[in-house]
Amino acid sequence: MSQTLEAVLNTNAAYATDFDKGDLPMPPGRHFAILTCMDARLDPAKYAGLAEGDAHVIRNAGGRASDDAIRSLVISYKLLGTREWFVIHHTDCGMETFTDEIMRGLPASSLKTAGVDASGWHDSGEGSGSTEGNYVDWLTIKDNAQSVVEDVQRIRRHPLVPGDIPIYGYIYDVRSGKLVEVSEATRVGMASA
């Protein structure tokens, strides 16, 4: 057993010892959802004041409005009653450090973990690779605020998203812990009814 696996299982055993949240309802109690990045420095429970059962938190690389993220938001609303959505990207995001073209090329030469230095991202070149990355939209980020606007706009225009759900756009500052509104995104995400 790896040290990581052992630590996770031991922590879970301690958590389960006095677990008292087994009766929480499935719908989120505060009726909202957050789409945000998977970055380990972000703790939506802390920066948004959440407890178990309060809100849906959907995470992916960059906090992007991918098809799967929108699928989750629609389920969150349609079946579980969320009434407001937040799109929250963050400063110093790794998705700003490469392009789709770079990401498509890295796994083509090797499936090993890539490295980065002053000259950019590079592959170790060990082992075999796969060109399947050519068929993935990696949703990299050129301009953080603009990507929030684009994601809110994509969600707002989606045919499965009702117009009466407000969608807010923010950037979490990893240095200060503050949420900074992207006013254009919030404007685009305003509810129509």
Token pair belonging to 78: 């349609």
Residues 6 or more apart in contact with residue 87 via CB below 8 angstroms:
35, 36, 63, 65, 148, 151, 152, 155, 167, 168, 169, 170, 185, 189
- Region 81-106 average pLDDT: 96
pLDDT value, residue 124? 75
**pLDDT for the residue numbered 127:** 74
193: pLDDT confidence band, cut at 50, 70 and 90? low
The pLDDT value recorded for residue 179 is: 98
Averaged pLDDT, 76-85: 98
Give residue 64's pLDDT.
98
> Beta partners for 37?
60
Q: Is 36 helix (H, G, I), strand (E, B) or coil?
A: strand
Span 185-193, mean pLDDT? 92
The rounded percent of the chain whose pLDDT value lies above 90 is 90
What is residue 125's predicted lDDT score, i.e. its pLDDT? Answer: 72
CB 33 within 8 Å of CB 58:
yes
Name the pLDDT band for 1 (thresholds 50, 70, 90).
Answer: confident
- CA 88 vs. chain centroid, Å, equals 8
Mean pLDDT of 173-188: 98
